[in-house]
Amino acid sequence: MRGRTTTALALLVVLTGCAGTDDPAPGPDPTSSASSAEPDAPAGGPVDDPVVAEPTTALLDWQDTGVLPDTRYVRGPEWEALGDAADTRVELARDGDAVTITAGRGRTISEVLMSQDWAVVVKQDEAETAPSEVAVVDLGSGETGEVATPPAASGGSWALTDGDLWFPTYGDGGAYCLATAALADSNGEDGWCAPDRSGFSGLTASEHGVGMMTFDDARPVACRTVNILDASGVPQPVEGPADCTAWDVAATADGVVWSEVPKPRRQEEARFHASADGAYFDLGPGTTGTVVPCGDSVFFARDPQGPDEPARLMRWTPDRALEVAYESPSSGNAFLGEPVCGGGVLTLTSYGEQGDEHVWADVA
């Protein structure tokens, strides 16, 4: 099923040296945003004794997409993107307008991203020997374009926020690097490169910052570190996670949300945490690969915690509240797919013995 992120994430390992660059990729600085929490927001604890956040139920107003759960689908405020079963085409549509993007011979559609004003469709070479092609749609006018430089690596992790696209590219000597493109002027440039025998994955992006997981090629388990890019586009390790255990990461207005995997052989099972103005919270269990910033919040999936429990979508809000934003119709044997955010609209798939769902909701 497409709905769930692979439990053993394929960690790209770079075995070549990393050439430097004089023009690091620019990025939002999460430290420049003032806290948006209410004055009476819960106070966290020290890093070694975080406050346990008790969730409350605040379900979003979920609507049926009318699309089968295994179908590639992204919904935005006005547009929706619908893929076909073979990943050979995507149709973007709104009332009275439609744009079709085809993968082309020897290619497959690997990513569909949407913000309020832009859509990006990534066409990956099936042989994974040629760079990915990147189609861009201006959702204001419906006009199409492309990001041609720097050339996008085949596969890897992608993120879109507002009009900025973040994606992997190759630098001098085959170094694995992070590129960014300003979609309004098709201005793309490469920036930070992963050091020798290391790589990065798990990109997330919002107005508060760009997050990524970096890792080395240690055996039998890679050492993982979660980072937020600083103003010059260089990854800075997040304070809080235990060494080498971190997985997901996303910036917030006053801190960071991240996950840690306590058991290397159970990489899908994580414990989530958050920092806020230097204080720390324990957000409880969750599923790796499901963190997504959307609207004013960060979301992640949680598998059923018992045979009578549903799968849940958890929400960490700017007011430092942990909320249950969605509950699956099935209990016990149930799980959620990776949430997708399109310009403040969240799309979610749910699978279980009592029925599957494919739904969307506006995030306030």
Closest CA to 6 of 168, 125, 155: 155
Q: Are 139 and 161 in contact (CB under 8 A)?
A: no
pLDDT tens digit at each of 364 positions of the chain: 444 443 333 443 333 333 333 333 333 444 343 455 566 778 899 999 999 999 999 999 999 999 999 999 999 999 999 999 999 999 999 998 999 999 999 999 999 999 999 999 999 999 999 999 999 999 999 999 999 999 999 999 999 999 999 999 999 889 999 999 999 987 789 899 999 999 999 999 999 999 999 999 888 888 999 999 999 999 999 999 999 999 999 999 999 999 999 887 788 889 999 999 999 999 999 999 999 999 999 999 999 999 999 999 999 999 999 999 999 999 999 999 999 999 999 999 999 999 999 999 999 7
The parent domain of residue 276 ranges over 30-362
Q: Are 169 and 151 in contact (CB under 8 A)?
A: yes
Question: What are 356's two structure tokens?
Answer: 């599957």
Distance of CA 113 to the CA centre of its chain: 10
Q: How many helices (H) and strands (E) does the chain have?
A: 0, 31
Tell whether 66 is covered by a domain: yes
Tell whether 100 is covered by a domain: yes
Tell whether 19 is covered by a domain: no
On the 0-12 / 13-18 / 19+ scale of CB atoms within 10 A, 47 is middle
**Which domain CATH number covers 93?**
2.130.10.120
Closest CA to 155 of 336, 41, 9: 9
What gap in Å lies between CA 101 and CA 302, rounded to an integer? Answer: 34
Tell whether 8 is covered by a domain: no
pLDDT the model gives residue 192 = 96
pLDDT the model gives residue 16 = 36
Q: Are 174 and 16 in contact (CB under 8 A)?
A: yes
Please give the C-alpha separations between residue 270 and each of 112, 239, 291, in angstroms, as whole numbers: 26, 17, 11
pLDDT the model gives residue 9 = 38
Tell whether 11 is covered by a domain: no
Q: Which residue reads 């769930």 in tokens?
A: 4
Tell whether 327 is covered by a domain: yes
Question: What are 140's two structure tokens?
Answer: 């204001």
Closest CA to 357 of 324, 332, 326: 326
pTM: 0.89
Tell whether 279 is covered by a domain: yes
pLDDT the model gives residue 3 = 45
Q: Which residue reads 């990109």 in tokens?
A: 203
**Domain total for the chain?**
1
Closest CA to 164 of 123, 109, 106, 204: 204
Question: What are 57's two structure tokens?
Answer: 């139920």
Tell whether 18 is covered by a domain: no
